[in-house]
Structure 1
Amino acid sequence: MSAVRTHIRAVAALAALAALATGCGSAPSDDWSRPRPAPSAVGSLGPGFVDPSAPPTPEGTVTPRPGSWDGVHPPRDYRVVLLSAGDDAPTRALVAAVRSWAAAEHVDLRTVTAAGEADLVPAITRALDLHPDLVISAGDALVDPLAVVTANHLAQQFLVVGAELAEPTHNVTAADWSGASYRGEGLGASSNYDAASFTPQRCDAAIRAGAAAVLTGLTGIVVWLA
C-alpha cells in the first residue's frame, strides 16, 4: 500500500510541476476544445474605412482612411494562431506586431512556425488543427501554400499581413501597403518591395486594419494602407 501511495504522490507532483510550467508561459485561457458561436467585433468602423454606397467586391481592394479602424476590437480571448515562416527582418517585424496587438487586446494567442520549406503546408495544417477564430500569416514563403490550402477550408478565416493572395477566397483577407505586396504564384509584388517599409507602426496598422475588416465581415478583400 505504501508503494502505491508513493506512486500516486509522484504522479501528482509531476502534474503539479506541469501545471506550474504551463502557468509560467503564455498559456491560453482555455484549451480551445469547446465550440462557441463566431465571435463578434467590439465597436464599429469609423467613417472612411469603406464607402457604404459601394461595398467592396470579392477580391477587391479598399484603401481605408488612416485610423478608421481604431474603434474596432476583438472580443476578449479571441482565439488567434500566428502562423509564420522565415527569419528575415520584415517577418520578424510582423510577428512582433501581432504579439504586441494580441497582448494589448487580450487575445488568446498561439503560434505555429514553419521549420523550412518542407514544413510550410504541414505548418498550415497544424494551425488549422487548433480551430482558431483567425489564422494570421506572416512571411512571404507562406503565400503560395496558403493559396492552395485556404480554398479547401472555407469556414476558417485567414488574415495575411504584408502580402496577399493572387486570387483569395472569401475567407482570406490581406492587409498590405506599397513596399509589402508580394502575391506569389510567379506574379511577384504589386508594388516595389521595400524591406524598410516594415516599420513597427506600419505593421501594427496592418494588423489592426486587417483584423477590423475580418471582425466586421469585410473578408476576401485586400486592405491597402495608404
Structure 2
Amino acid sequence: MSLNSVKNFVIPFTICLLGALALYPSPSLNPETYSTEGLELDYNISEEFAMMTQDYTIEQSLFTPHLGKSFEGFKEALAFKESRGNYFTVNTLGYLGKYQFGAETLKLIGIYTPNQFLYNPELQEKAFVANAERNKWVLRKDIKRFEGKKIAGVKITESGILAAAHLAGPGNVKKFLRSFGTNNLSDAYGSSVKYYMKKFSGYDTSTITPDKKARVTL
C-alpha cells in the first residue's frame, strides 16, 4: 500500500474515531465512578527539590503584619523576648506563659490560679495590660521626671520604663532611675533593667492608663 493510500485511510479513520469518542464519553471520566484503585500513587521527589519548593512556598505565603512602634508592637516585641510568644511555656524558674509572669505578680492583679492562667491566652493578654497599668501608676512620678533624659547612655522613654518594670518590678526601676543607672539589677538569665530600657524604648504606650488597683476580670 502506498504512503498516500495510508494517509487517505488513517486520517479519515482518526477523525471518525475522535468524533465517536466525543459522542460517547468514557465511563472512567464520570466523577461518580472514578477510582484510584490499582494506580501507582507513591511518587518521590529529590530532597533538594523539596526544600527549594518549601522555601519558595514559605517565602511567598508568609505574612507578618507591621506593628511598628504601636502598643501591639510593644506587647509582641516584649513577648518574643520573654518566651518567643509561647502562651504555654514555663521557664526553669517557674515563670509562666507568653509574658513570663511570676505567681506573686499575678496575685497583685487578682490571679490566684497559675494553671488556669497558663492555659488561657485571653487571661494572659489581660494580665499584661493590667500589670502595665499598675506599674505605670507606681512609676508615674518617675516617668514624668526622667522621660526624655539620658541615663547611663540610654534615652529614657515610658515604654522602656514599663518594659523594665515588667522584667524586674517597678521598685527596681525606681532604683535604676534615681541612682542614675548605678543600681542596675539583672535577672537570672542576664537581662538587666538598663537593657530593657534601651531595647523597648520609643513604643507608644499612651493607651495604658495608670491604675493603682488594676485587676484582671474575664
TM-score, normalised via structure 2 length? 0.24
Task: Select the structure with the greater relative contact order (CA < 8 A; seq sep ≥ 6).
Answer: 1
TM-score, normalised via structure 1 length? 0.23
Larger radius of gyration: 2
**Between Structure 1 and Structure 2, which shows a larger proportion of helix residues?**
2
**Between Structure 1 and Structure 2, which shows a larger proportion of strand residues?**
1
